[in-house]
Amino acid sequence: MESGMARANMSGIPDHQKDPTDDPLKGFSDSELLELLRKMLLFRRFEEKAEESYAIGKIGGFCHLHIGQEGSAAGSITPLRSDDYLVTAYREHTQALARGVDPSAVMAELYGKASGSSSGKGGSMHIFAVDQAFMGGHGIVGGQVPLAAGMGWAIKYRGEDRVAMCFMGEAAVNQGAFHEALNMAAIWQLPVIFVVENNEYGMGTAFGRVSATKVEERSAAYQIPASVVNGQEVLETYRHFERLVKEVREGGGPRFVEVRTYRFRGHSMSDPVSGTYRSKAEVSDQTETNDPIKILRDRLFAADVLSQEALEIMDQEVRSQVDEAVEFADAAPVPDSSELYTNVYSQINEHGRLFFDGRDR
């Protein structure tokens, strides 16, 4: 890892909007700080391995990496309770890990294996772990947003004190489904936190080129309180979400958060890192100065919470965990061909005819 650096406020968030903490480490125990670092390292190493496995043909189909956005996943999901719903888009490997889904089950899913979290039928974009309230992995931009409203409604109907958290990229805020869902969430005051991970680009399109307003202004029409947080600062992100989760759990109604972040890789594994829509210099500048892992690492070095040696041990442990996930995925069986006919709406009956809900079609 490279050495530390002093960092200016690169998030673009005016200082007056930031959480008013003098010392970002304040209130965190050493073990909480190290755990957040370990999580982000796991996410990074997992994604690097997925990248490698994709390059050698072990993973097929689409594969969108979250490298550069680890602070967003660790900072927002860690404050949730394990029974709170999580629903998200297709850049979700690390969000599943943050929820506690076994890295081996996630890697096996990427490999399309029967031991994967969706039995190898979902792949990279459709990781599900319903027993852990991880409600997927959705490939249609904005498609998960109405589902989150449904989860919020179910929570309210059953009188539970759970929260539903819904992630989306900034491009999703131009979708009609986004507006319908926010409107319903506001009318019924549903316990949903809508999280826009703004990594600046929807595929090759800078957000500013396709939006008449800023992301943070998008919930104003529905009077849902909005806030902005710098996702590259995991501690700030954690504190921000800790407060929001509490407010929503206590019946405060929906919230809307823009997490400012940056994607260090291409849109997906089939796209170049920079392409024609952003310069190599921009990407290398962000990688050097706005890496959530380096930022926390340097804070922990400076506060004597972490030594270089302890970091190397932690990194080695995380690498071993990821290697085990790859070995598991490699050795796992592919789904049986009979599985082609399960988990679909229509099924084939014993006469070879399609049926649905027990009726012939």
Ligand X SMILES: Cc1ncc(C[n+]2csc(CCOP(=O)(O)OP(=O)(O)O)c2C)c(N)n1
Q: Does 216 bind ligand X (CB under 6 A)?
A: no
- Residue 19: CA atoms inside 13 Å, Cβ hemisphere, count? 21
In angstroms, the CA 280 to CA 293 distance is 21
> Quick one: which of 136, 137, 169, 191 contacts ligand X (CB under 6 A)?
169
> Quick one: which of 71, 202, 231, 292 contacts ligand X (CB under 6 A)?
202
Find the residue with minimal CB distance to ligand X.
169
Q: Does 218 bind ligand X (CB under 6 A)?
A: no
Stretch that binds ligand X, among 44-52, 194-202, 269-277, 318-326 (CB under 6 A): 194-202
Give the nearer residue to ligand X in terms of CB position, either 43 or 201.
201
The CA–CA distances, whole Å, from 326 to 91, 121, 226 equal 19, 18, 40
Tokens of 16: 């007056």
Phi and psi dihedrals of 152, rounded to 5? -60, -40
Q: Does 144 bind ligand X (CB under 6 A)?
A: no
Q: Does 172 bind ligand X (CB under 6 A)?
A: yes
Give the nearer residue to ligand X in terms of CB position, either 207 or 328.
207
Q: What would you report as the CA-atom Rg of the chain, rounded to the nearest whole angstrom?
A: 21
Give the nearer residue to ligand X in terms of CB position, either 70 or 298.
70
Q: Does 47 bind ligand X (CB under 6 A)?
A: no
Stretch that binds ligand X, among 44-52, 137-145, 270-278, 279-287 (CB under 6 A): 137-145
Give the nearer residue to ligand X in terms of CB position, either 117 or 144.
144
Stretch that binds ligand X, among 110-118, 198-206, 210-218, 250-258 (CB under 6 A): 198-206
Q: Does 139 bind ligand X (CB under 6 A)?
A: yes
Stretch that binds ligand X, among 151-159, 169-177, 213-221, 227-235 (CB under 6 A): 169-177
As measured in angstroms, the least distance from the Cβ of 72 to ligand X is 10
Q: Does 221 bind ligand X (CB under 6 A)?
A: no
Give the nearer residue to ligand X in terms of CB position, either 41 or 259.
259
Q: Does 170 bind ligand X (CB under 6 A)?
A: yes
In angstroms, the CA 198 to CA 230 distance is 10
Q: Does 275 bind ligand X (CB under 6 A)?
A: no
Q: Does 258 bind ligand X (CB under 6 A)?
A: no
Give the nearer residue to ligand X in terms of CB position, either 140 or 340.
140
> Quick one: which of 1, 5, 130, 140 contacts ligand X (CB under 6 A)?
140
Q: Which residues fall within 8 angstroms of residue 86, CB to CB, at 6 or more apart?
A: 77, 80, 95, 99, 133, 134, 135, 164, 165, 167
State the amino acid at position 152 in one-letter form: G
Q: Does 171 bind ligand X (CB under 6 A)?
A: yes
> Quick one: which of 1, 55, 130, 203 contacts ligand X (CB under 6 A)?
203
Give the nearer residue to ligand X in terms of CB position, either 170 or 298.
170
Binding site for ligand X (CB under 6 A): 91, 139-141, 169-172, 199, 201-203, 267
